[in-house]
């Protein structure tokens, strides 16, 4: 099995680079006002179509976190990790129907702006700082690290830092052109991502089929996966008992069976898609129908994503289990996707690397643009230079883009945050989960309960953060390992842990209770509450049809793999 690229691979990758860069330059030159207009630079001036919105959401979301991290969890846990993608499809329906109308009616451009209008400047400033730290020190670093590790493995293992620099530089080139360039180049990125990703999955299944003497038969390869690793094809992981191995316990800690569907899984998805800068920047400039269709299109594409990012991990597990991937000795899950790519023939390996690069670059571009938008509109303009003109704000935005990427590179250079040891996908989900309960509680109560007060929001974000630390780090030692609220399990490192999705659900529950109690001490209707009416949430027949199709497909998947 070759790990190095040949001429055909480089040719395919260079062609991908030229197409994306040329198209981005063409878009940029068509709209040079983006150089001086903040609305265009940050929000694409509302010119994105529904298909561009949907593709951009997927391109920004699917990154090394999924290709490497989720494939790694597929290697370790199996199909259960697909819940993150399939529940996201339902979450996007909820966002499209109920969240987006609230944002559009109140002309919300950034998440801190939502908090300012609904609550007060204090809440907005606290969360703006929180989001900046999260995007830079969790999201940017993990995407850079996981992506560089994957591509470096295919180049022979000696180019980790060079790959980091190339990924960062490529994403900066796209980001500096503004949101319109990001949005429309993301259409190409997501096409490359899906085509290259499906090619990788197809080849992975044929490799499995060949290794088991069944010839090049993709269906036979899939059936062999189900036969050789049946435990990897159940959506619900059983709760550990006294006879469970540490490996089985570790799987439950990552994906705690049916309990996660009543706890953190919904918070993860609704917070990510409904209270996230990506949604506002891609959908808010459009009208309601365009925004809804784009978001639902992204939700439909989400149903396809596990085929691309999870199945190769299961294929790697079966091959490793049967001695065909010795480089994964010890079961290094984050190396699973790279190991599968090593089987691909010349040319297709280049296409798969292009797909991986497209996912990484699109996600990095979306992240740094969001960082720039939050900093310029919600911090710099308000607290450092209130009189800054349009041209100055775009300039500061570009400086912020470059600065945030440099900081991320510094922390990723020697993996100072320990991303490799934690496991990429788990690292992102776990540490994002420290602020998700408080943030989601603030948004959901702020949108739909008029009594929610600014004081409750401040208390809520602090309470959510502190409770997340309590349940994730200290609760088993303080309150015991088996209570009426939770069960903590040995993590194999000498300590006990509550599954972090359960911890997230508990943090959210108690945060909501605290916020409701604080709000009840105030007026019955907060003067800053949003005006809502039923007409905002009515959907067109075509929208309803797309929702029904998505839900039917999802139901069939769960029935088959429960």
Bridge-based pairing of strands 496-497 and 489-490 is antiparallel
3-state secondary structure of 244: coil
Name, in order, each residue with C-beta under 8 angstroms of 57's C-beta and a sequence gap of 6 or more. 278, 279, 282, 294, 295, 298
Q: What is the pLDDT of residue 304?
A: 86
| Residue 258 belongs to some domain of the structure | no
Q: How far is CA 276 from CA 46, 100, 279, 328, in A?
A: 18, 12, 6, 36
- Looking at residue 10, its pLDDT comes to 80
Which positions ≥6 away from 296 have C-beta within 8 Å? 54, 92, 93, 96, 543, 546, 547, 550
Which residues, in sequence order, are CB contacts of 370 under 8 Å at separation 6+? 131, 135, 277, 278, 281
Q: Is residue 268 part of a domain?
A: no
Q: Is 67 helix (H, G, I), strand (E, B) or coil?
A: helix
pLDDT of residue 46: 54
Distance set, CA 194 to CA 200, 356, 358, 448 (Å)? 10, 10, 10, 37
Show the tokens assigned to 373.
């938008």
Residues 6+ apart with CB under 8 A from 29: none
Q: Is residue 301 part of a domain?
A: yes
- Domain extent for 107: 7-241+276-418
Q: Is residue 128 included in any domain, yes or no?
A: yes
How far is residue 275 from each of residues 92, 103, 271, measured CA to CA in Å?
Answer: 12, 10, 5
- Is 114 domain-assigned? yes
Phi, psi of 439 (to 5 degrees): -65, -50
Between CA 434 and CA 500 the distance in angstroms is 9
DSSP string, 418-475: -HHHH-HHHHHHHHHTTTHHHHHHHHHHHHH-TT--HHHHHHHHHHHHHHHHIIIIIH
What residues have CB less than 8 Å from 285, skipping those under 6 apart?
39, 43, 44, 45, 46, 47, 48
Tokens of 239: 């709760």
Q: What is the pLDDT along the chain (562 residues), one digit of tens a residue?
A: 444 667 777 887 788 778 777 766 776 666 554 444 555 555 545 556 887 788 778 777 776 667 777 788 888 888 888 888 899 999 999 999 999 998 888 888 778 888 888 998 888 888 888 888 888 888 888 888 877 877 776 676 677 888 888 888 877 776 665 555 665 666 676 777 777 778 888 888 998 898 887 878 888 989 999 998 898 999 998 888 888 888 888 889 888 888 888 888 899 889 888 887 766 666 776 788 988 998 999 999 899 888 888 898 898 888 888 877 777 666 567 677 778 877 777 777 777 777 777 777 777 877 888 888 888 888 888 888 877 777 788 788 888 888 998 998 888 887 777 766 655 566 666 677 788 899 999 999 999 999 999 999 999 989 999 999 999 889 999 999 999 889 999 988 888 999 988 999 999 999 999 999 999 998 888 888 888 888 888 988 989 999 999 999 999 999 988 8
- Per the domain annotation, does 196 fall within a domain? yes
d(CA 251, CA 237): 8
Closest Cα to residue 131, out of 113, 105, 154, 147? 113
Under 8 Å between Cβ of 228 and 318: yes
- Rounded Cα distance between 351 and 8, Å, is 10
Distance separating the N- and C-terminal Cα atoms of the chain: 36
**Which residues lie closer than 8 Å to 536 by C-beta, 6 or more apart?**
101, 102, 105
Per-residue pLDDT, 348: 72
**Cβ distance 365 to 188 under 8 Å?**
no
Q: Which residues contact 517 (CB under 8 A, 6 or more apart)?
A: none
**C-alpha separations of 296 from 92, 93, 283 in Å:** 6, 6, 11
Place of tokens 């980001």: 175
199 to 79, 221, 297, 344: CA distances (angstroms): 19, 14, 22, 9
The answer as to whether 431 is a domain residue is no
How many domains are contained in the chain?
Answer: 1
List the CATH number of the domain containing 119: 1.20.1730.10
Contact 261, 429 (CB under 8 A): no
Assigned domain for 247 exists: no
């Amino acid at each position: 099995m070759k790990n190095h690229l040949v001429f055909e691979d480089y040719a395919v990758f260079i062609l991908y680079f030229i197409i994306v860069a040329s198209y981005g330059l063409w878009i940029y030159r068509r709209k040079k006002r983006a150089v001086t207009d903040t609305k265009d630079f940050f929000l694409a001036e509302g010119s994105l179509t529904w298909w561009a919105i949907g593709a951009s959401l997927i391109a920004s979301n699917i990154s090394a976190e999924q290709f490497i991290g989720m494939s790694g969890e597929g290697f370790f846990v199996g199909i259960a990790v697909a819940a993150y993608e399939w529940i996201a499809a339902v979450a996007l329906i909820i966002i499209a129907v109920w969240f987006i109308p609230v944002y559009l009616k109140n002309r919300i451009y950034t998440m801190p702006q939502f908090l300012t209008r609904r609550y007060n400047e204090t809440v907005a400033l606290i969360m703006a700082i929180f989001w900046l730290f999260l995007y830079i020190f969790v999201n940017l670093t993990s995407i850079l690290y996981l992506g560089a590790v994957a591509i470096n493995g295919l180049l022979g293992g000696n180019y980790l830092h060079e790959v980091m620099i190339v990924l960062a530089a490529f994403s900066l080139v796209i980001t500096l052109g503004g949101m319109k360039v990001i949005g429309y180049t993301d259409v190409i990125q997501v096409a490359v991502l899906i085509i290259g990703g499906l090619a990788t999955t197809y080849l992975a299944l044929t490799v499995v089929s060949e290794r088991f003497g069944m010839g090049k038969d993709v269906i036979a390869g899939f059936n062999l996966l189900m036969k050789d690793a049946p435990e990897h094809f159940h959506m619900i992981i059983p709760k550990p008992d006294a006879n469970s191995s540490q490996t089985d316990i570790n799987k439950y800690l990552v994906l705690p069976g049916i309990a996660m569907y009543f706890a953190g899984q919904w918070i993860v998805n609704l917070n990510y898609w409904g209270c996230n800068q990506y949604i506002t920047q891609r959908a808010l400039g459009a009208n309601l129908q365009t925004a809804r269709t784009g978001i639902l299109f992204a939700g439909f594409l989400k149903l396809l994503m596990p085929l691309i990012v999870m199945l190769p991990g299961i294929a790697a597990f079966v091959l490793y289990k049967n001695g065909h991937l010795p480089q994964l000795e010890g079961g290094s899950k984050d190396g699973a996707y790279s190991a599968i790519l090593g089987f691909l023939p010349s040319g297709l390996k280049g296409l798969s690397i292009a797909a991986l690069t497209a996912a990484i670059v699109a996600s990095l571009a979306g992240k740094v643009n969001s960082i720039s938008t939050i900093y310029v509109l919600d911090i710099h303009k308000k607290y450092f230079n209130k009189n800054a003109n349009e041209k100055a704000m775009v300039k500061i935005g570009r400086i912020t883009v470059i600065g945030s990427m440099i900081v991320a590179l510094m922390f990723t250079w020697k993996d100072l945050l320990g991303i490799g040891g934690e496991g990429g996908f788990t690292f992102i989900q776990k540490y994002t989960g420290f602020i998700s309960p408080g943030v989601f509680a603030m948004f959901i109560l702020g949108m739909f309960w008029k009594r929610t007060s600014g004081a409750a929001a401040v208390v809520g974000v602090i309470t959510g953060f502190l409770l997340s630390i309590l349940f994730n780090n200290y609760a088993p030692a303080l309150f015991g390992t088996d209570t009426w609220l939770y069960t903590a399990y040995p993590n194999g490192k000498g300590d006990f842990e509550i599954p972090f999705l359960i911890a997230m659900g508990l943090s959210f529950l108690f945060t909501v209770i605290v916020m409701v109690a604080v709000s009840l001490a105030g007026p019955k209707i907060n003067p800053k509450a949003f005006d809502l009416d039923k007409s905002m949430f009515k959907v067109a027949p075509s929208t309803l049809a797309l929702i029904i199709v998505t839900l039917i497909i999802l139901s069939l998947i769960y029935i088959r793999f429960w």
